[in-house]
Amino acid sequence: MSIAVVTGSAGLIGSEASRHFAKRGLTVLGIDNDLRAAFFGPDASTFWQQKQLKSELGTNYRHIDGDIRDDVLINNLFREFGNDIELIVHAAAQPSHDWAAQDPQMDFTVNANGTLNLLEATRQNCPEAVFIFTSTNKVYGDTPNRLPLIEQELRWEIDPSHEFNNGIPESMSIDSSLHSLFGASKVAADILVQEYGRYFGMKTATFRGGCLTGPNHSGAKLHGFLAYLMKCTMTGIPYQVFGYHGKQVRDNIHSYDLIQAFDHFFRAPRCGEVYNIGGGRFSHCSMLEAIRICEEISSRPLEYVYEEDNRIGDHIWYVSDISKFQDHYPRWSLTKDIRTILTEIYQFNLSRWQFAVAR
């Protein structure tokens, strides 16, 4: 039996990974205890997704209502299945730098200690397995804000003559910057994944994501930019824009394209790799541009307020340079741009949010 362990299996990336690798013939062990609801409230719960996975995947999916901080549970699970485990997709996390400041200890134990538990269980029980970690661009702290940026009508943009015009590469320093406590906990996990790959020769990769998005995202105020923005546009919930005149830029990668990247790495793994992964120049937008697209797709105006103070450590402009991964895996490519992503989010959630749209 070939097994894929997926943490955060009912979340955006975990659910996409569970479906993908189950269809590839692996039995998926999904670990998820719906901490997202504890972090962001009942509207952010992923329990609905958990039920769908069980219904869709049947015997190809086994759900474990467990916590990755529970090293006994993790060790016992990995010991039970041993070398049958061929893949670990680690997507469980506390994902918000705003929330992390409320409870730094819980943030760190989920993001750093939980990752260490999974790495050590892999090393002890299935050392040949491929270990894929969903990291974040927040490991670079606010260093991207030191780039030469130019304010335009609807966005900030980098000086076109700069070497990072195509996006921010993995060579950017993660030192001497303001990370947020969330960024610090993810840095710890990020480096652990690298170290287990390089020190122990394990097949690990850390994918430093831009904004990860898609129709399965349970977007909330503190996390899930495009999904929550579309939800607010459709339902009339007021939206808050924080700083930078609403012109801050993010690249956005659809969960489908990200899991395709994971699959390429799984089929031809390396040891201790680091990849910046996101929409790159193919799929990126400013806040103001995203608002306009949401309004066009939904035919509804968004009610939003502007707060002059930006979030601590927030990026003004972040676009991923994905050329390293494309060089290593030239058959992979992005397929879904911003408008496609937002259209999918709108169409997928019409029935879930229909009661509010009809108001």
Measured CA to CA, the distance from residue 134 to residue 298 in angstroms comes to 31
> Strand pairing of 284-286 and 249-254?
antiparallel
Measured CA to CA, the distance from residue 24 to residue 44 in angstroms comes to 29
Q: What confidence tens digit (pLDDT) does each residue in 209-231 have?
A: 999 999 988 776 767 789 999 99
On the question of pLDDT at 200 being above 80, the answer is yes
Query: To which H or E segment does residue 171 belong?
Result: none
Measured CA to CA, the distance from residue 219 to residue 44 in angstroms comes to 6
Measured CA to CA, the distance from residue 359 to residue 355 in angstroms comes to 7
Token pair belonging to 81: 């299945």
Q: What's the confidence (pLDDT) of residue 358?
A: 43
Reported as half-sphere exposure (CB side, CA atoms, 13 A), residue 326 has a value of 12
- Mean pLDDT of the residues in the chain: 94
Whether pTM > 0.85 for this model: the answer is yes
Between CA 141 and CA 145, with CA 142 as vertex, the angle to 5 degrees is 150
Mean pLDDT, range 68-97, rounded to an integer: 96
302 neighbors 239 (Cβ within 8 angstroms): yes
Token pair belonging to 350: 């019409």
Q: What confidence tens digit (pLDDT) does each residue in 243-273 have?
A: 999 999 999 999 999 999 999 999 999 999 9
* Residue from 285, 284, 280, 286 nearest 332 by CA: 280
Q: What confidence tens digit (pLDDT) does each residue in 156-180 have?
A: 999 999 999 999 999 999 999 999 9
Q: Where are the alpha helices (DSSP H) in the chain?
A: 12-23, 35-40, 47-57, 71-81, 97-100, 104-108, 114-125, 181-200, 225-235, 255-267, 287-298, 323-328, 338-349, 354-357
Q: What's the confidence (pLDDT) of residue 351?
A: 84
* Residue from 139, 143, 140 nearest 187 by CA: 139
Confidence of residue 359 (pLDDT cuts 50, 70, 90): very low
The full set of domains in the chain, from first to last, is 3-357 (3.40.50.720)
Measured CA to CA, the distance from residue 257 to residue 277 in angstroms comes to 10
